[in-house]
Structure 1
Amino acid sequence: MTKSATSGASATVAIPQSFGLVENQAYTMSARTYDGLDDSPLSVACPFTIDSTGPQSPPTVTSADYPECTATACESAGGVGKSGLFTLGAHGVADIMQYRYWFDGGPKVTTAAVAKGGGATVRIDPPPLEETLHLEDLTRGGPRTLHVVSVDQAGRESGEYTSGAGDDSVGGYKILAGSAPTAEAWWKLDEPAGSAVATDSTSHAHDLTTAGTVSNVEGSGDGGSAYSFGLSGTAQGPLAVDLRGSRTTVATVRLSAATGESTIVRHTKYGDPFLQDELYFDGATKKVCYRVQVGAATTANPPPRGEWEACAAAPSTLGTWLRVAGGFDAMRREAFVSVDGTRTASSVVAAYTAPTTGTGGLTALGDKELVGAADDVRVWNRQLRQNEIGALAVADAGRWDLDSSVEDATENQVKHPLDDSGPSDERWNDFGHVEGDLGSAYFGGTSSLSTSGRVLRTDQSFSVSAWVSLHKVPTNNMTVLAQDGTVQSAFYLGVRQWGTTPRWAFSMQNADSASTVAFTHAISTTDAVTDDDVGGWVHLVGVYDASAQTQTLYVNGVHAQTTARTARWQADGPLAIGRALYTPANGTTAQVDKIEGSVDAVRAYAGVLTPDMVERLYETQDGQL
C-alpha cells in the first residue's frame, strides 16, 4: 500500500478489503517513507488483531460461599461485608481479558482474567443497604444482586450475566446474604490492675496474654479502664482474624510519645506467602497508618514481597484519645485507615495472594515501641462501612431522655442520674420534641438539672447534643448544656448574645481561671434566634476534636461553624442542663445563663461525632443511632 503526502506531514491509509483480513487473526504492520530518491528503514512492527464484534456470550458466575438463588430455592449464606469466593468464566469467548462486577448502586470493580479467554477467581463482599436511618440496619442481610460482565481485548463489554433461559431469564447473580457477622474479638481492656490476661468478651475466646510493661489507667470515656504500654509492653495471642478476606480493626489509642513506628494492633499469618496487617502510629509524621504486607517466607519477620500502606492525611496530637480503624477491602483490593470516624486515605493493593502453606499466626496489641494507652479494641472478619466506623468513634457517656425521669439511660456500669437544683417550675412536660415522645424538661429561668459528678473528659474529644424549645427570644445568654470546672464551665451549648443578636452557639472557656477569662466560639452565623424559633424544637450539637484542635456547632443536623481551638483543660465538676458556671475576671463565681424553655433528649459522648452521625441523630425520632 502506498500513500502520497506532503513533506513533513502524516498520512492515513485504509487496508483494502481485498487483503481478506480474518476475524480474530493477529497481524503486524510496518511502514517506511520514500523521499523520491531513497527508502527509509522499516518502522517497528505494529501488531494488531481483527476483532469487529464484542463478546457474543455473557460470563458465567459460580460461588460455593454464596450460592445463587433459583426460582425454587434461595438459602441464606455468608453475611453483609463478609468476603466470599466467586469464579467468573469466559463462557467460551476466546478473547476475554477482564471481568467487571458490581452490586446495585455500588462502584464497579474490574479484575484481569488469568489469561486471554480465561476466568478469574475473586473475593466479593455483599454490601449493606445504603438508605438506612438506624445503624443496626446496616448489618441486616437480605437479597442482593451481583452484576457481572466480561470485557474483550478491544475493551468491549459483554451482556450481563443472567440466570435461567428465555422468558424465565433474570438479570444478575442473585443471592440471599446473611446478617453481618459480629466482632470476631473484642478486648475491652477493663481487667483489674495486674491481670495477666486481656479477655475477649465475645464467645470466640481470643484471649491475649500480657508481657512486659503493661499497667491500668483511666479509660477513654467508656466507663472502664485502659491498658498503658511501655516500650516493652504487649498483649499477644493466636491470630484472631482471617487475613484471606475483608477485615477491619478498630481501637481507641492515646499516644504519649513519638518513637519510630509504634504498633497499635498487628495480625500475622505464617505461611508462604506470609501475611501481615498492622495498624500503627508513625512517630516521624505523627500519623496513624494501616499496612498490608505479603512476605516471601514462613519466618516471623520476612522481607516483604509486597507492601501497601494507607496513612491519615493529617498528623494527630499526642496525649489525645483517638478512635482509629484500619482494614482491607478484599473486593476492591484496598487498604484503608480512619481516624475519629473519618476515612482519610486508601491504598490500592495491586496484587494479593492468600497463604498456601504454613500454619499458625499471631495477634498483638502494643509491641514495637508503643508508648501510650489502648482501649476498646475490636476486630471483624468483614469490612465495616464508614458510617459503622463513625458510630464506633464515640462512646456513650450519658443519655437523658427527660421523659419525666432524671435517670441516665446508658448501659454503662457507672451511671450519672440528674439532681434537681432550685425550684421545680413544674419540671416535667407531657410532650417532647416529636409526636409520641413521652415528655421533656421545663425550665423557667430559675432552675437547672445536674449530675453529681463528672461525665466527660473535657480535655479530650467529646460531643454533646440536645433538643431545645425556647419560650421567648433571648435577651441574654442561655445555656442548654455545660460541664463545670472550679470557677468556669468548660463549654456552653445554647444561645449567646453576639453583639445585639442572639445566636445558637457552642462556646468553650480557655482555662478554669477567675483572673483570665477568654472564650472560643462556634456560632451559627446565618441563623439568628427569632420569633419563628420560639415554641419550636431545635437540635443542637457541639463537637470538640482535641486531636484536630477544633470545635464545631451543628444546628438541626447541618454544620454551622468550625473554629480552631488549641487550649485543653479538664472540668471535673458536674454536667448541667439549663445553666452554666461563670466567673468574670476577678469577680464572683455564679450559676448563670439559666434557660427559659424546654429541653429534651440530651446526649453526651466521649469522642467525635461525624457529620453522618450528627445527621442521623437529628433524623431519628427516638435519638437511637
Structure 2
Amino acid sequence: MRRPLLRATAISAVGALALSLALSLASVSPVAAEKRADFDTTSVRPASAPEVTSTDYPAGDRAHGSVGRAGEFTFSNNGVDAATAYHYSVNDASCSTKITLDEPGANATVTITPTRDGPNLIHARTTDAQGRSSACELVYVFTVAPLAEPVAYFPLNEGQGTTSTDVMDRSRTATALQDLEWTRGRVGARTGQSYRLEGTAAQVGGNSMLATDGPVVDTSGSFSVSAWVYLDELPTGNATALAQAGESGSGFQLGYQGGDAQSWAFAMASHDGDPATWTYADATTPVETEVWTHLLGIRDADSGEIALYVDGVERSRVEHADAWNAEGELLLGGGKHEGELTHQWPGAIDDVRIWDRQVFDEPLAGDREARSEVWKLANRPTALGGRWMLEETEGTIAADASDHGLDATLHADPLTAWNQAMNDVTFAPGVSLNVAEREHLITEGPAIRTDRSYSVAAWARLDEVDHDSVALAQGAFTLGYEHAPGGGNWVLKVASADGAGASEWHRSLSIHKARFGGWTHLAATYDHSLGQATLYVDGVAQGTVEISDALHTGGPVTIGGSWSEGGLSDPWSGDLGDVHLYQGVLSRHDINNVYEGLIPTSSP
C-alpha cells in the first residue's frame, strides 16, 4: 500500500507522537477502502492534495487555541487549477468531509473545532469535475491546547451588596440595576476542603437583574453559557436567566419560554432588530418550580446548530445559521427586547459560566470513571444536604453537622441508644436501635431532591434478622438489607414513576450476602443525567440499575427504617453511624473519603 506523503513543513516539529499517529492512520479499514472505491484514481487524477493553512491553529508542535474552540482552516489547490472539491478528515484517514468549490481551483475556508488536545492531523484529497481524485494523504498537523477555562464565571457567593465579581477577570463585575436580594444557593463557596450547600445565589425579579459594563463573549462564534436556575413560580410569559444584549435585542437568551411552549429554552435571534426571527432549542420535559435546575446552552459554529441541556441531558438541537455578535452587556436575570430590558427572572440564579467554545458532552479521558464537561456541570460539585454523625451521648436530638441544620429526632430511649455502639473500623461511636421497640431517628423534612442526582452513605452493623431492614431512607429511596431464605443481600431501592401514576421500585443488590454482626459501609448514588443508580459496599461498586423518571416525594430522612403513609416500616436491628446525604454524584474516590469519615472534595 502506498504510504501518505508527509509534508515536511507540517510535521517536522511535532515529533514522534504525530508521526506514529500518522503511520497508524495509513492503514485504511475495509470500510474506508470501500468508500474510496467511489472515486477514480487513474493516471490522470489530480497530482496533489490541497494545501492547508490556519492562523488560528498554525502548523507545528506549539499549542494553540483549545479543545472545543473553533478555528478557521483555508484549503488551496496546491497547483491543481482544475480542482472542484476538497475532501478532508480530522484524526482519521477517511477524507470524508466534502468542500464544494465556488469555481475551479478556488480557495475554501472552513471552521473546524478540535475535540482532543495535543497533535491533530488533517488528511485531505482533491477531486476534479470528472470525479478523479488525488490520494488521501496527511497534509497538516497542528497542536491543540487542553480545554480552556470559562471566559467569565460569576459564582454569586457574595451574599450581600449589589455587585458580583467575575472570578476569571476580577476587574469585571455584574451590578444590580436595582436593589438585589440574596438567597440560599445550589453551589456554595468552598469552606476548607469541601463545598457548602448553603452558599448564596442572586434572588432576582422585578427589575433587579444584574448587568456587566460590556460583552463577555462573541455570540457570532462558538460559545456556551450555563447557570443553575430556580423558579419561585411558573412565569406567565417569557423569562430569561442569562442574555447578552445588542442595540435592540439579545444575541441569545437562556431560560424559560412561555406561551404554548412553557419549556426551558436556549434561543438566538437572526439579527439585532425588530422583527427578528428566533430559533428555539427547547425541552419537552416539564418545567418544575421551587427546585434547582441546571441549564446549558451551546452554539456550534461548525454545524450552525444550537443545543439545550437540562440537568446534564441534551433536550434539543436545532439549526441556527444566522448568528451575530451582540456587543452589549451580559444580563443576569433578564433580557433585552425592542431596546428595553425585559423578561425578568422570577426566582434565583447561581453559578453562571460563559465559554468562548463548545462545552463537550463526551469524556476526554480514557479511564472508566471519566465524565464529560456537560455531566460535571450538572452533577459536581456535590452539595452536602445533611450529615448525622450520631456521636451524641444524651438527649433525643441528633445534630445535623452540615449547614442545613436539619436535626433528627431520636425515637428511642437515650440511655440505651447512645454510648453503646462503637465502630471497630473507624473507632467512632454510633447509635444502637432496638427493633422490638421500632426505634429510629427522623427529620422534619427532606435533605435532598431524589428526582435529581444524589448520593447517600451510612455505616451499619446489623443483627441477624428474618425480615427486611432499612438503615437509611428518604421517600423515594431506601438503603439497607433485603431478606431471603439462607441469607439476604445489601440493597438499594429507588422509586420511579411507572407512567400510570404509581411508583415502580428498582433494586440494586450486593454481589455477596450481607454479613451480620460486623460493621459495613453502605453507599449509593443516583445519576440523573445517565439515569443510573449504583450500590457500593465498603467502597466497592456492586450492581447498577437503569432508572427513568425518578421521583421526589418530599418525605423526611429516616435513620433506622423507612417512613411512608405516616408510619415506620422495615425497622433496623443493630447499630448505625455517620450518615451522609449529598446532592450530586460522588466519585469512587469521594466514597472512599466518606468511608474514612471525611467530606468529599470533587469539583466540576
TM-score normalised by structure 1 residue count: 0.64
Root mean square deviation of aligned Cα: 5.1
Residue 593, structure 1, aligned to residue 572, structure 2: yes
Cα 1:563–1:239, aligned 2, differ >3 Å: closer, same or farther? Answer: closer
Q: 1:322, CA displacement in angstroms?
A: 0.8
Residue 63, structure 1, aligned to residue 54, structure 2: yes
Equivalent residues in 2 for 1:535-554 (5 A)?
Answer: 541-543=524-526, 553-554=533-534
Residue 122, structure 1, aligned to residue 99, structure 2: no
* Structure 2 match to 1:142: 118
Deviations 1:121-160 (A, max 9, x none): 22322213xxxxxxxxxxxx43333344455556676433
Q: 1:341, CA displacement in angstroms?
A: 0.6
* Structure 1 match to 2:455: 464
- Please state whether the residue corresponding to 2:316 is helix, strand or coil: strand
The answer to whether the 8 A contact 1:123-1:245 is kept is: no
* Structure 1 match to 2:306: 335
Cα 1:401–1:388, aligned 2, differ >3 Å: closer, same or farther? Answer: farther
The answer to whether the 8 A contact 2:95-2:123 is kept is: no
- Please state whether the residue corresponding to 2:382 is helix, strand or coil: strand
Correspondent of 2:154 among 175, 187, 208: 187
Structure 2 counterpart of 1:267, which letter?
Q
* Structure 2 match to 1:206: 172
Cα 1:125–1:346, aligned 2, differ >3 Å: closer, same or farther? Answer: same
The answer to whether the 8 A contact 1:266-1:364 is kept is: yes
* Structure 2 match to 1:316: 287
Structure 1 counterpart of 2:114, which letter?
P
Correspondent of 1:236 among 203, 211, 214: 211
Cα 1:425–1:293, aligned 2, differ >3 Å: closer, same or farther? Answer: same
Deviations 1:525-547 (A, max 9, x none): 7x5765388999998534386xx
Counterparts of 1:58 and 1:450, CA distance in 2: 74
* Structure 2 match to 1:391: 376
Counterparts of 2:220 and 2:520, CA distance in 1: 50
* Structure 1 match to 2:185: 219
Residue 92, structure 1, aligned to residue 71, structure 2: no
Q: 1:594, CA displacement in angstroms?
A: 5.4
The answer to whether the 8 A contact 2:159-2:183 is kept is: no
Cα 1:63–1:564, aligned 2, differ >3 Å: closer, same or farther? Answer: closer
Counterparts of 2:477 and 2:281, CA distance in 1: 35
Equivalent residues in 2 for 1:100-179 (5 A)?
Answer: 100-104=88-92, 110-128=98-116, 141-150=117-126, 152-153=128-129, 158-163=134-139, 173-179=140-146
The answer to whether the 8 A contact 1:54-1:157 is kept is: yes
Structure 1 counterpart of 2:57, which letter?
Y
Cα 1:333–1:495, aligned 2, differ >3 Å: closer, same or farther? Answer: farther
Q: Mark the runs of 5 or more structure 2 residues left unpaired by the alignment.
A: 1-39, 189-197, 335-341, 362-371, 393-400, 411-416, 536-540
Larger radius of gyration: 1
- Please state whether the residue corresponding to 1:392 is helix, strand or coil: helix
Counterparts of 2:464 and 2:99, CA distance in 1: 61
Q: 1:393, CA displacement in angstroms?
A: 0.6
Q: Percent identity?
A: 20
* Structure 2 match to 1:79: 66
Cα 1:106–1:156, aligned 2, differ >3 Å: closer, same or farther? Answer: closer
Deviations 1:590-622 (A, max 9, x none): 9942567999xx874435x5xxx8799899999
Q: Mark the runs of 5 or more structure 1 residues left unpaired by the alignment.
A: 1-49, 129-140, 164-172, 407-411, 430-438, 484-488, 511-517
Cα 1:162–1:482, aligned 2, differ >3 Å: closer, same or farther? Answer: same
Q: 1:323, CA displacement in angstroms?
A: 0.6
Counterparts of 1:536 and 1:101, CA distance in 2: 56
The answer to whether the 8 A contact 1:398-1:416 is kept is: no
**Count of matched residue pairs:** 496
Deviations 1:486-531 (A, max 9, x none): xxx7743333459996562235799xxxxxxx99563227x57653
Counterparts of 2:49 and 2:175, CA distance in 1: 53
- Please state whether the residue corresponding to 1:91 is helix, strand or coil: coil
Counterparts of 1:152 and 1:308, CA distance in 2: 38
Deviations 1:202-240 (A, max 9, x none): 235331121257432222253212223324342112111
Structure 1 counterpart of 2:105, which letter?
G
Q: 1:463, CA displacement in angstroms?
A: 0.5
Cα 1:66–1:401, aligned 2, differ >3 Å: closer, same or farther? Answer: farther
- Please state whether the residue corresponding to 2:373 is helix, strand or coil: helix
* Structure 1 match to 2:252: 277
Q: 1:562, CA displacement in angstroms?
A: 2.5
Counterparts of 1:449 and 1:143, CA distance in 2: 59
Cα 1:98–1:58, aligned 2, differ >3 Å: closer, same or farther? Answer: closer
Cα 1:322–1:340, aligned 2, differ >3 Å: closer, same or farther? Answer: same
Q: 1:161, CA displacement in angstroms?
A: 4.5
Q: 1:268, CA displacement in angstroms?
A: 3.9
Counterparts of 2:269 and 2:284, CA distance in 1: 21
Cα 1:225–1:464, aligned 2, differ >3 Å: closer, same or farther? Answer: same
Counterparts of 2:147 and 2:570, CA distance in 1: 49
TM-score normalised by structure 2 residue count: 0.66
Correspondent of 2:228 among 252, 261, 273: 252
* Structure 2 match to 1:265: 242
* Structure 2 match to 1:301: 273
The answer to whether the 8 A contact 1:246-1:328 is kept is: yes
Residue 286, structure 1, aligned to residue 262, structure 2: yes
Residue 495, structure 1, aligned to residue 481, structure 2: yes
Q: 1:199, CA displacement in angstroms?
A: 2.0
Cα 1:603–1:95, aligned 2, differ >3 Å: closer, same or farther? Answer: farther
Equivalent residues in 2 for 1:438-453 (5 A)?
Answer: none
- Please state whether the residue corresponding to 2:256 is helix, strand or coil: strand
Q: 1:257, CA displacement in angstroms?
A: 1.4
Counterparts of 1:182 and 1:553, CA distance in 2: 31
Cα 1:209–1:452, aligned 2, differ >3 Å: closer, same or farther? Answer: same
Cα 1:539–1:156, aligned 2, differ >3 Å: closer, same or farther? Answer: farther
Counterparts of 2:79 and 2:132, CA distance in 1: 16
Counterparts of 1:616 and 1:114, CA distance in 2: 55
The answer to whether the 8 A contact 2:154-2:351 is kept is: yes
Deviations 1:332-369 (A, max 9, x none): 332111010111221234x45666xxx94221122132
- Please state whether the residue corresponding to 2:375 is helix, strand or coil: helix
Cα 1:471–1:498, aligned 2, differ >3 Å: closer, same or farther? Answer: closer
